[in-house]
Amino acid sequence: MKNIVILISGGGSNMQAIVQATQRDHWPERLGARVAAVISNQAQARGLAIAQAHGVATQVVDHTQYPTREAFDAQLMASIDSHQPTLVVLAGFMRILTPGFVAHYSGRLLNIHPSLLPAFTGLHTHRRAIEAGCKFAGATVHLVTAELDHGPILAQAVVPVLPNDDEASLAARVLTQEHLIYPRAIAQLLAQL
């Protein structure tokens, strides 16, 4: 059985979709993997309770307790590696990772970003898509490389931007699609590892 470690900072709905996919027999194929741990940099992350409710071990590595990014990432790597993961999955993890961290998990570190990359890297993607007059928005699953929100694209989902959309309504429409494409992309990548 392959192990997945998921990193979160907040609500954890993508993490929940992935955990549920691993706990189903066929979704969309057998993942053959378990979520060994969910790690948050925020002690208050709502996703921690969701993970625990699904029987998944949780840990907090609070970035404010470390003097440098390197020191935080070193502790994060030690916590992650104690679970011997095949894949490390960023699911709403809102910290920039050091090049050393990214290199350590090269080819097995995934992120989901709430835009159609390469458009709208960074923050406030939905607000910026609406302000730019985009007719479509979406989400992207990609392998993580040293450059923020870049790296080989594994999956995308497209949704319409509707005339009366605000940031929240567009985010909700995109998030529904994220919950579909992330577990599928993970299943496909796991089949190759």
- Binding-site ranges for ligand GAR (CB under 6 A): 8, 10-14, 47, 91-92, 112-114, 139, 175, 178
On whether the CB atoms of residues 154 and 184 are closer than 8 A, the answer is no
CB nearer ligand GAR, residue 33 or residue 97: 97
Closest distance to ligand GAR from the beta carbon of 148 (Å): 8
Selecting among 113, 126, 142, 179, the annotated active-site residue is 113
Closest distance to ligand GAR from the beta carbon of 8 (Å): 6
Three-class SS of the chain: CEEEEEEECCCCHHHHHHHHHHHCCCCCCCCCEEEEEEEECCCCCCHHHHHHHCCCEEEECCHHHCCCHHHHHHHHHHHHHCCCCCEEEECCCCCCCCHHHHHHCCCCEEEEECCCCCCCCCCCHHHHHHHCCCCEEEEEEEECCCCCCCCCEEEEEEEECCCCCCHHHHHHHHHHHHHHHHHHHHHHHHHHC
Residue nearest to ligand GAR according to CB distances in the complex: 92
Does residue 113 have an active-site annotation? Answer: yes
Closest distance to ligand GAR from the beta carbon of 11 (Å): 3
Closest distance to ligand GAR from the beta carbon of 29 (Å): 22
List the catalytic residues. 113
